[in-house]
Structure 1
């Protein structure tokens, strides 16, 4: 499985989450999960917001733990909102265009999971992508396709509804093809203002997702911790796995739940649904 994290709050250097914690994202990238024979060595990426509305993007096929350029960037950048990802491929080639985050205008998207039997469903799913979005797909992953399906189904107007319609459409196509349990996902998404996330799977096994508690509460819980004293009051992080092993720091996101994160965390039910309309295909 892949791993990712998202941060929103007053500006910090990404290094403070990517490298510094005892269970940092970079440390997780080389540490095998119980059900994984290999580490997350199929590339990594960082997307962040700075002086422009459009986010900057760094992606590389190098394993995250050995990429000096990523370390330099993460140490030098200061950003109020960023997404980072380490990849363990599920069939798509190891190439830069298949590394997360994926970008469309002011939007960034990361994903941990898969579409079951993606190769079998890919053609029909691709033909549902809105024609004006199609040229933005430059890789071959199911993740990038999921992002563009969500954009097709209204993500820019209602991010959670767009993700729900995407998941519902994939499940509908998979059911018609006889593919079981098609969707496995935790996703991170941002428009540069808020951080959105969702945890869902069509079957009983669901990848993990956690959100940090508010910093003021953490300072009260751990008054001697320099880290919590340093972090901004409005800092929030969403992660695939906890970055520090301290009780009360992380709250597990319930299954079938979406988050809207800024200075507060709003939890919403995540309910896949049939899209209102599917964009016509180029051959339609």
Structure 2
């Protein structure tokens, strides 16, 4: 499938996690340990904020992440207090730039790993539910982008967790009306530059892998000479498809049917419960 990560904390060079870590996202594009596919070479994207209230920047490309020289240059040049990155393994839709994550609407960025099962069968019903005012902003053909615009339709900009729960409830309801077993599998990330909202959920209860960093304050005490931890700061937070290193005490797996919200140095974790919209 795909691999993704999201970071918030002190302004950090993107190459720190994209290239320099032992099991960086670029390494995962070739040698994923926990993904459904070992290689994720159907395009990539990065998104970052200069300031939380700004429209985020994006760079997306259909090349494999490991072979894009411009990505290496950009990751070395860009420092940001909040950024996301995604490497894609396509599931039935074309490798084209508009299908690369993260998707963007206003201040919001969105990434997804997983699938809507039998998407061609349910796509029409899902897309007809999208707010007509949002519809012209859809650029690609993926199930992931449809999930994003459904979440926006259900109020992502006002109440992101509730909107994601309504989105999932709606997708599952439509899927079951079409006799689709286990309609949705996902880990998703949504951010507006001020908060990161990450969800691990699947209809069958066997979601794609998702982890978050443990307390960076604790990590400073355990590894006082590690420059990566020092640069990130004590309130830094990472949520990601699979760990970037084998350091003990650094990563914690996010349970099934769980949402994690990171905002202003505070990390909250709640049960994720789909709702009928």
- Normalised by the size of structure 1, how large is the TM-score? 0.94
Distance 1:192 1:226, change over 3 A: closer
The 5 Å alignment of 1:139-158 reads: 139-158=140-159
Separation in structure 1 between the aligned mates of residue 35 and residue 133 of structure 2, nearest angstrom: 39
How large is the Cα RMSD of the aligned pairs?
1.3
1:94-113: CA deviation from partner (whole Å, max 9, x where unpaired): 00000000000000000000
The offset of 1:80, in angstroms, is 0.7
Distance 1:69 1:35, change over 3 A: closer
Which runs of 5 or more structure 1 residues have no equivalent in the other structure? 276-284
- 34-43 or 16-25: which moved more? 34-43
SS at structure 2 position matched to 1:135:
helix
Distance 1:66 1:98, change over 3 A: same
The offset of 1:273, in angstroms, is 0.7
The 5 Å alignment of 1:102-181 reads: 102-181=103-182
Which runs of 5 or more structure 2 residues have no equivalent in the other structure? none
Separation in structure 2 between the aligned mates of residue 132 and residue 224 of structure 1, nearest angstrom: 52
Q: Which residue of 2 aligns with 1:210?
A: 211
Separation in structure 1 between the aligned mates of residue 36 and residue 169 of structure 2, nearest angstrom: 28
Q: Which residue of 1 aligns with 2:269?
A: 267
Q: Which residue of 1 aligns with 2:40?
A: 40
1:131-160: CA deviation from partner (whole Å, max 9, x where unpaired): 000011110000000000000011111101
SS at structure 2 position matched to 1:132:
coil
**Residue 246 (1) aligns with residue 251 (2):** no
Separation in structure 1 between the aligned mates of residue 213 and residue 273 of structure 2, nearest angstrom: 23
